A and B are shown apart, each in its own frame.
Chain A
Amino acid sequence: MPEPLLSIEGLTKTFHVAKSASGNTRLKALDGISLTVGRGETLGLVGESGCGKSTLARTLMMLETPDEGTVSFEGTNPFGLKGKELLAWRRRVQMVFQDPFASLNARMSAGDIIAEPWATHRSLYPTSRERDERVKELLQMVGLRASDARKSPQEFSGGQRQRIGIARALALKPDVIILDEPVSALDLSVQAQVLNLLNELQKELGVSYIFISHDLTVVRHVADRVAVMYLGRIIETGETEEVFDHPRHPYTAALMSASPKLDVTGAKRDRIVLQGELPSPLDPPSGCRFRTRCWKAQDICAEVAPEPQVVTAPDGRRHLAECHFPLDTIMGLTGAAAAAATANAL
C-alpha cells in the first residue's frame, strides 16, 4: 500500500439538536472514525443515507470541526493551521458534488466557474492570460471544447455539467478530491463516460479520490479500498475485492445482498432482506449499533460494542470488521441464515 497521504484517527463529531424522543440532544454523526488514504489511491465510502458519509466529507473539507480525533495530512494537522498556511492547505483538498444542476452557478459562464477558485488562490495563475490558457486546458482535459468556456451551465447536459464540476475541482491541482455521489444523478450511458474520465485523470495526475456512493457496483469498479459506514462508524474496511468477496460484517453482507445485480443468466439468488430501517442516530442502539437489524445478534451485542478486529478471509487476506460474530464464509450466509433473515422480513 502506498504511504498514506491522509490519515484520520478516532474522528468524532457531535451536533446539538432540538430535543429528540428520548430527550437526547446530542447527535453523534461521526463516532471514532479512523481511515487512511494513500497517494493516487481511491477510497470508496459506502453506507445508507444518514450514516455520516457527508459529515465525514465535510469534516475532511474543514467545513466542520471535529470534537475529538486527529487528522494528519502528510504529517500536518490542518485544524492547527492559520492564515496563509491554511489557505495553502485548502487548495489541496477539493470536492465534486452530487447534483450537477445545483452545484454550478447559472449566472456564470463555464470558464468563470472553473476560474473562480483562482480568485482566492491568486498565486497559482497570476496573469489573466495564464488563467485563460489553463481554463482551456482544463476543459479539454475533461473532454469538453475550449470554446465551451463562454457557454453558461444550462447549455450543457448533466454529464457535461459534471465534467465542469470536475474541471473546477482540478483547477487548484489538489492532492485529494472528495467525490460525493458524482455519478448518481447521471444516466447510465453518461455515468460510464464520467467514470472513465475520473479514471484517466487519476492515472494522469496521480490524485487521490474519496469516492462516496451508494452504488456498490460503481464502488467496486473504482475503489482500491472500501470503508462501509453504519450510524457514524466504519464497521468494515479493507481492500475492495476482499470486502466484496468475503464480507465479514453482517451489515456489509446484507448491503451487498440487497443491491440488485445485473446477472444476464437470470439465475435466482438467495437474498438477505434486512428488517426495519436505519435507527435514528440520536438514539443509537446500545452495544453494537447494527444489532437491531442483525439476524446474528446475541445478548452480548446489546451490552458490549465490538472493537474493530482483524479478520482473515478464506484466501488468507485480512481486513478489519467490527462484529462479535463475524461471518465465516459468504457461503454459510446464503444458506440457512439468509433464509431465516428473509422469512423474518415480512
Chain B
Amino acid sequence: MKTAADPSTLRRTRGNAATESQAHDVVLQVSGLAVDIRTHRGTVRAVNSVGFEARAGETLALLGESGCGKSMTAKALAGIMDPVCDLADGQIVLNGTDLAALTPKERLKFAGPELGIVFQDALTALNPVYTVGTQLGEAFRIHRGLNAKQAKAEAIELMKRVGIPEPESRVNSYPHQFSGGMRQRILIAMAVALNPRLLIADEPTTALDVTVQAQIMQLLRKLREEGQMAVILITHDLAVVAEEADSVAVMYAGNVVESGPVAEVFADPRHPYTKGLLESVPVHLERGDQLKSIPGSPPELHDIPSGCVYQSRCPMVQDICRAERPALRPAGRRRTQSGAATAEADLEQATSAGTNDGGATDRPVRTAACHFSEEITNA
C-alpha cells in the first residue's frame, strides 16, 4: 500500500521487533488536567485534576454519563476546546512532549500527525461542501506537503484501509452521499491518516445501529493493532467498555472517581458510583424485577459540593464525605492476597492485546476516590 521509504510503514507492520517493544509503552500521560468554563454565572470547573495513561496497542475507556466532563477532556487533549473554555492546569504528555506547554502553532505541528480524533456525529464533523477526497487528503497536503493529485491517491488508499467499497469513484462524493456507517469510516480514516500514536474516539458509534456499531468497533480494533496506536474510547455504554477496552477511567462531575483494568473494575468496583452504574444495567434479572438505580441526578457544575462529588447520591455517605474530598488512591485487592485471580486477568488482557509479555508489574494500578473504598461489598 505504501512505499518502503515511508517511515510510517514500519510502525504499521505487525510482528517485527520494533513493534513488539512498543506494545504497552505509555504513549500519553495526563496528570492534574483541569478545564474551566467561563459562563454568565461565573467560572465553573468542568474537569478537575484528571489523570490517566494510554498505552500503545491498548484501549483506555473514559466512561461517564452526560456532563461528566469526558468529552471536555477529549477536546482538551486534542486542543480544540471552545473559546469559553480554559486549560486551567495539568500536563498532557504525548510521546515525551507536554502539549499543554506548547503554543497553539507548535502544538498543531507536533500533535497534528501524532493525535487523531473521531467525533460522534459524522455528518456535522464533515464539511458538506467539500468532497470526502478533499477532506481526507487535507492532512497529507498540510503535514506532508503533497500536491492535490498525490493527496487524492493517499485518500483512496485510506478509504480502502477503512473498508469503503469502490474508493476510486467514491472519493469524489460528498458526505451526504454516504450512509451513517460509511461517514463514520471516513471520519476514522481522517483521524488515522498520518498514523498517529494516539487515537481519541468520542462516542464513535452512539448514533449508529448495533449491526453497524459492531462493524465500526471491529475496524477500530483492526486499526489499533495494525498501527499499535493507543486508543482513548469515550463512551457512556458499559457494555462497549466491557467488550472493547483494556482499562477504564470512570468519570463523575469532572473527576475521575475510579480507574484500572476493565475486568477488575467491573468485577469488583471500588467506588459506589461504578457499583451503582453496573447495577443499573438490566442483566441477570428476571423480567419485571426492580432495577437498582442511582437516586437523584449529578450535581450542576456551578454547584459541585466541596467534599466528595458523589455525596448527594451515595448510599454510604458519612460526615467525612461532606467535609473532605477523597483523593484517587490505590484500591482493590492486593496482588499478594489473591494473586491467582489477578494474574489470570493480566494474562487474559495480555492475550487479548495480541502479545503475551506477562508484564504484570507495569500494569495500570487500580485506583478509586472514595473514603470507604475498601468497605464496598460486591456479590
Binding site for B on A (CB under 8 A): 48-49, 157, 159, 187-193, 195-196, 199, 203, 214, 216-218, 220-224, 240, 254-255, 257-266, 268, 271, 273-274, 277-278, 345-346
Contact = CB atoms under 8 A, between A and B. Distances in A.
B14 interface: no
Contacts of B236: 187-188
Given A217-B282, A217-B283, A264-B242, A274 B294 contact: no
A254 to B, nearest CB: 6
B277 A260 contact: no
Given A224-B287, A271-B214, A189 B209 contact: no
Interface in B191-238: 209-215, 218-219, 222, 236-238
Interface stretch (B1-9, B28-36, B120-128, B262-270): B262-270
A243 to B, nearest CB: 13
Contacts of B262: 266
A110 to B, nearest CB: 17
Contacts of B209: 48-49, 214, 278
Contacts of B218: 273, 345-346
B364 interface: no
B348 A266 contact: yes
Contacts of A157: 297
A28 to B, nearest CB: 20
Interface residues of B, number: 48
Contacts of B278: 262, 264
Contacts of A203: 288
A260 B240 contact: yes
A310 to B, nearest CB: 23
A145 to B, nearest CB: 14
A157 B266 CA distance: 28
25 contacts: A48-B210, A49-B209, A188-B277, A189-B277, A189-B293, A191-B280, A196-B293, A214-B210, A217-B282, A221-B285, A223-B287, A255-B211, A258-B211, A258-B213, A261-B239, A262-B281, A264-B266, A265-B263, A266-B263, A266-B267, A266-B348, A273-B218, A277-B181, A277-B182, A346-B218
Given A214-B209, A220-B287, A274-B211, A192 B237 contact: no
A220 B282 CA distance: 8
B238 A188 contact: yes
B280 A277 contact: no
A48 B263 contact: no
Contacts of A188: 65, 236, 238, 277, 280-281
A260 B237 CA distance: 9
Give chain B's interface secondary structure class. Answer: helix
A196 B66 contact: no
B163 A192 contact: no
Most buried by A among B214, B222, B243: B214
A254 B214 CA distance: 10
Complex A-B, nearest 3 residue pairs according to Cβ-Cβ distance, in ascending order: A192-B293, A221-B282, A260-B239
A261 B266 CA distance: 13
A207 B112 CA distance: 56
Contacts of A264: 242, 263, 266-267, 278
A187 B215 CA distance: 24
B25 to A, nearest CB: 23
B290 interface: yes
Given A195-B282, A220-B287, A264-B242, A189 B294 contact: yes
A189 B298 CA distance: 10
B176 interface: no
Given A48-B211, A189-B277, A262-B266, A268 B352 contact: yes
A191 B262 CA distance: 23
A201 to B, nearest CB: 12
B275 to A, nearest CB: 11
B280 A266 contact: no
A173 B42 CA distance: 46
A221 B291 CA distance: 9
Contacts of B51: none
B291 A192 contact: yes
B239 A345 contact: no
Contacts of B214: 257-258, 271, 273-274
Contacts of B219: 346
A216 B282 CA distance: 10
Nearest to B238: A262
Nearest to B348: A266
Nearest to A184: B206
Most buried by A among B218, B297, B348: B297
A221 B239 contact: no
A244 B179 CA distance: 29
A263 B295 CA distance: 24
A187 B294 CA distance: 11
Nearest to B209: A48
Given A157-B297, A346-B219, A262 B212 contact: no
A302 B154 CA distance: 38
Given A48-B212, A262-B283, A277-B179, 7 more contacts: A48-B210, A192-B293, A195-B282, A218-B282, A260-B244, A264-B263, A264-B267
A195 B287 contact: no
B326 interface: no
A346 B163 contact: yes
A224 B287 CA distance: 8
B304 interface: no
A255 B287 contact: no
Contacts of B283: 217, 261-262
Contacts of A196: 290-291, 293
B85 interface: no
Contact of A217 (B281, B290, B348): B281
A271 B214 CA distance: 9
